[in-house]
Structure formats: C-alpha cells, structure tokens
Amino acid sequence: MPGGRAERDAAFAAFVEQASPSLLRTAWLLTGDHHAAHDLVQASLVKTYVAWRRVTPETALAYARRVLVNERTDVWRKRHGEVTVADVPEDRGGRDPMRTTDDRDQVVRLLAGLPEQQRRVVVLRYYTDLSERATADALGISVGAVKSAAHRGLAALRERLAVVEGGER
C-alpha cells in the first residue's frame, strides 16, 4: 500500500534523527534541566507522531517545535511556574569545558529568571534563529507581542548580566 504505515514510520524515524538535537537544545533552554528537556522532547515527538499524517516535510520541524513549546507551557502551568536549574551537560568540543559549562549555566540561570513568555520568545527568536513571524506562529501570538517580549526579555537579560558580571548578586 503506497504511503502505508511502514513508509510513514520510516519518514518519522528520519525526521526524529535529524530534528532531535535541535529540539533537545531548545527544550533545554526552555526548561534549564537536562532530564526535563529529554522528557519534553519525548512528549513532543509522541504528539508529533500522532499527527504525522497531517505534517508535511517542509513544516515538520516547525510543527514539532510548536508542540514542544505548547507542551512546555502545559508543564509550566501544572507546576505553577516553578523552574529548576540542574547541572549543565558537558561540552564535548575543543573549548575549555569548564568555561563553556559556566557560560551555559549562566545563560540557563539568566533565562530561568525571565517570565515564561519572554523566555520562550528569546529562545525561539535568538537561539533557534526564527523570524519574528515564525516565532509568533510557533507561540500563537502576534508579531507585535513577539517584538515586545523580545525587547523586554533582552533588556532584562542585559541588566541581570551586568549585575552578575559586576559581582553584585
């Protein structure tokens, strides 16, 4: 049967292989926790698989990213805004692992201090490099709301970074 289940499953498996690293990085920045990020990606991929017949190859990553963000929002609402920050995974590149880990930890902690909407916008807009329109579509908000949240979020990050770098905690 053309377009059968085996073919869909193979296409989904290829998608998972290609998209998982990006989804995991996004989830980690949204949650600040390695294990929560893995759980979030898994839940998002399950929901994406259920809808896989309706997802086109061109929109698959955007669809999965939107599911991921919505899933994170659901988890956040259930936990009443509690955000945990765990150990940051080690970098396997050629850079100084302690410095890289410290930088990542600092970014996650700074992001964790933002309100949920600002954090989602900053991560999607600047980390995953989505356009304002794509960010708005992924979050189901207006472009103006993206611009406003990005502006406020970046200003808050700059202010907090200046405090941290100035030694004032």
pLDDT confidence of residue 112:
87
Q: Of 142, 114, 128, 1, give the one whose Cα is nearest residue 68.
A: 128
In percent, how much of the chain has pLDDT > 90?
40
CATH of 1-92, one of 1.10.1740, 1.20.1270, 2.10.260, 1.10.12: 1.10.1740
Give the pLDDT confidence of 111-139 residue by residue, as tens digits: 888 998 999 999 989 888 888 998 998 88
- 105, 112 contact by CB (below 8 A): no
CATH code, 113-169: 1.10.10.10
Q: Using alpha carbons, list the distances in angstroms from residue 14 to 5, 41, 57.
A: 14, 16, 11
* Mean pLDDT calculated for residue range 136-149: 92
Q: Outline where 4-131 has alpha helix (H).
A: 5-31, 34-50, 60-78, 97-112, 116-122
Give the pLDDT confidence of 41-61 residue by residue, as tens digits: 999 999 999 999 999 988 999
Tell me, yes or no, if the pTM score tops 0.75: no
Q: How confident is the model at residue 169 (pLDDT cuts 50, 70, 90)?
A: very low
- 120, 127 contact by CB (below 8 A): no
